[in-house]
Each structure stands twice: as C-alpha cells, then as structure tokens.
C-alpha cells in the first residue's frame, strides 16, 4: 500500500526468524517502485503504541532482484526502535522509506583484483546482498568474505553463503569466493578465533585467505561495529590502504550508520 504524498510505503511482514535471543531476520513485501543497489540501506519505521513513529537505517540483505526485502537486526536492550521491531509478527506493517541510501556499493571501486568484505555482527547484511548480485562475481578475481561474531550461533546466513556457488548464474564463478568465519568467544575447529584487527596484525587472516592485503590489488569494504571499523581503518592505513573519497580514490569503503 502506498500514498504518493508520503515519503514512505507500508509493507507487510512476511517472515520473522530468531537466530539467537538477541538476533533475528525479517522479510517484508517490496513496493514495485523501490529500487536499490546491492550494499545500500533503507530507513525503516515502526509505529509505537502512542502513534509516534521511530526510524532506523537497515541494510538490505536481499538481492536487488528479489521480490521481497530482507533485513537482519539485533535487539538493543531498552532500545526504542528494536524493542518495537522485535515485537512485530507476520502480517504486521513496517514502514519503508521510498529511497535507498548508502555508498557501500561496488561502484566505489573502479579497479582492483581482490575484494575483501569484512563484517561483524549484523554488518554481514550488505555483503549478503552484494554476493547475491552477479556484478561482484564479474568484477573481481577473488572475493574474501570475513564474518566475525561472538558465538557460532550468531553467524547468520551460513546456509545461503554455503549454497551461493550452486546457483545457476554463479556456478562458473564459485571458485572465486573464500569464506572465513571468526568466532571471538569460542574455540571451534575450522573457525578463526580473535578480533579481526589481531588476525590482520599477526598475518593469520591473510594466511587463511591465501592472498595478501595490498594497495595494488585489494579493495576492502567494512561494515559492523564502529570500533572495529575505526581500528581496522587505522591498521589498513599503516599498510597504505586508504579510505576511498570522492576527491581521493582509495582502497577502503565503509558503512557506519549505527
């Protein structure tokens, strides 16, 4: 349902799946006029009991080609928005801004051989969208997805990531993807343990990826905890990997709307 005088549309909640006590995914209908690039975010609105509306930014998990919209959320204790959002059930209404926002998109980079996608927590969302879009598989020779969570159960979209290579349009490109899960509070076989910055500093991340981080070949996207983004940016800068700006092209792009 839409109203041309409003800056948002009213969408219906199709599915809600809890991942852990604090994490859940939600899927809604999609307005036919809503367009976005993989990696962008939308402003979502929930209406409170007093009739007021609270808005927050959420990256699309879904592909630009999907007929639905999917989002990944954490419940912030006492949070005005997520407390309301987590109470929604299938059939309820979610407001979605008519316009998509954000610059964590592939057109940030005009060149590069290896794409690194570094995410913590719900920051995996835009990268799942990017990986479901054919453009990234055509543009880069190697794609390294690094996903860090506190516990293994908080690693979302594992089945989707594992099955990407089985999709008809990706079969011949599946070899390009290296997936590196990280869990910081558990020791698990086949899973790295430690902060992303620590694993960059000690070389463990590059060894696991079997590719070096270099200004010449690497293009890096960061999304997640603001502290992780700040610390990783500083570390990458020491290696001459600079933030990509309009006035100065670089190798690093970030999304930080927390």
Report the predicted TM-score, pTM, of the whole model to 2 decimal places.
Answer: 0.94
- 114, 220 Cβ separation under 8 angstroms: no
Answer yes or no: do 133 and 62 share one domain: no
CATH number of the domain at 182, please: 3.40.50.80
Distance of CA 14 to the CA centre of its chain: 21
Answer yes or no: do 142 and 219 share one domain: yes
Distances (CA, A) of 99 to 27, 37, 102, 112, 237: 18, 11, 10, 29, 33
3 is a domain residue: no
CA distance 147 to 224: 10
Residue 49, domain extent? 8-97
CATH number of the domain at 17, please: 2.40.30.10
223 is a domain residue: yes
Answer yes or no: do 147 and 211 share one domain: yes
Neighbours of 86 (CB within 10 A): 19
Domain boundary among 62, 97, 132: 97
Residue 1: what pLDDT?
A: 46
> Tens-digit pLDDT profile for the chain (258 aa)?
444 458 999 999 999 999 888 899 999 999 999 999 999 999 999 998 898 999 999 999 999 999 999 999 998 888 889 888 888 999 999 999 999 999 999 999 999 999 999 999 999 999 999 999 999 999 999 999 999 999 999 999 999 999 998 998 888 999 999 999 999 999 988 899 999 999 999 999 999 999 999 999 999 999 999 999 999 999 999 999 999 988 888 999 998 755
Query: How many independent structural domains does the chain possess?
Result: 2
Answer yes or no: do 133 and 77 share one domain: no
Domain boundary among 75, 97, 119: 97
Answer yes or no: do 172 and 234 share one domain: yes
Answer yes or no: do 110 and 238 share one domain: yes
Domain boundary among 77, 97, 117: 97
Sheet holding 177-183, edge to edge: 177-183, 142-149, 114-120, 218-223, 252-255
1 is a domain residue: no
CA distance 136 to 131: 7
Answer yes or no: do 118 and 91 share one domain: no
Phi-psi group of 87: left, alpha or beta (phi > 0 → left; psi -120 to 50 → alpha; rest → beta): alpha
Answer yes or no: do 154 and 133 share one domain: yes
Answer yes or no: do 79 and 198 share one domain: no
2 is a domain residue: no
Distance of CA 87 to the CA centre of its chain: 23
């Amino acid at each position: 349902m839409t109203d041309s005088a409003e800056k948002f549309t009213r969408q219906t909640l199709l599915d809600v799946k809890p991942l852990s006590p604090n994490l859940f995914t939600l899927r809604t209908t999609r307005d036919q006029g809503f367009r976005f690039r993989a990696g962008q975010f939308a402003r979502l609105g929930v209406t409170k009991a007093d009739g007021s509306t609270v808005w927050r930014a959420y990256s699309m998990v879904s592909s630009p080609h999907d007929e639905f919209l999917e989002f990944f959320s954490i419940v912030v204790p006492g949070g005005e928005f997520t407390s309301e959002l987590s109470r929604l059930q299938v059939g309820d209404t979610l407001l979605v801004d008519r316009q998509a926002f954000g610059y964590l998109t592939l057109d940030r980079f005009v060149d590069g051989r290896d794409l690194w996608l570094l995410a913590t927590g719900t920051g995996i969302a835009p990268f799942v969208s990017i990986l479901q879009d054919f453009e990234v598989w055509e543009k880069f020779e190697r794609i390294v997805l690094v996903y860090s969570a506190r516990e293994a159960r908080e690693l979302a979209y594992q089945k989707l990531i594992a099955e990407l290579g089985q999709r008809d349009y990706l079969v011949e490109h599946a070899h390009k993807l290296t997936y590196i899960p990280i869990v910081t509070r558990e020791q698990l076989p086949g899973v790295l343990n430690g902060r992303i910055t620590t694993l960059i500093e000690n070389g463990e991340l590059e060894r696991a990826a079997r590719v070096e981080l270099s200004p010449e070949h690497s293009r890096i996207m960061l999304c997640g905890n603001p502290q992780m983004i700040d610390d990783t940016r500083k570390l990458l800068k020491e290696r001459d990997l600079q933030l990509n700006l309009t006035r100065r092209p670089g190798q690093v792009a970030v999304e930080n709307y927390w």
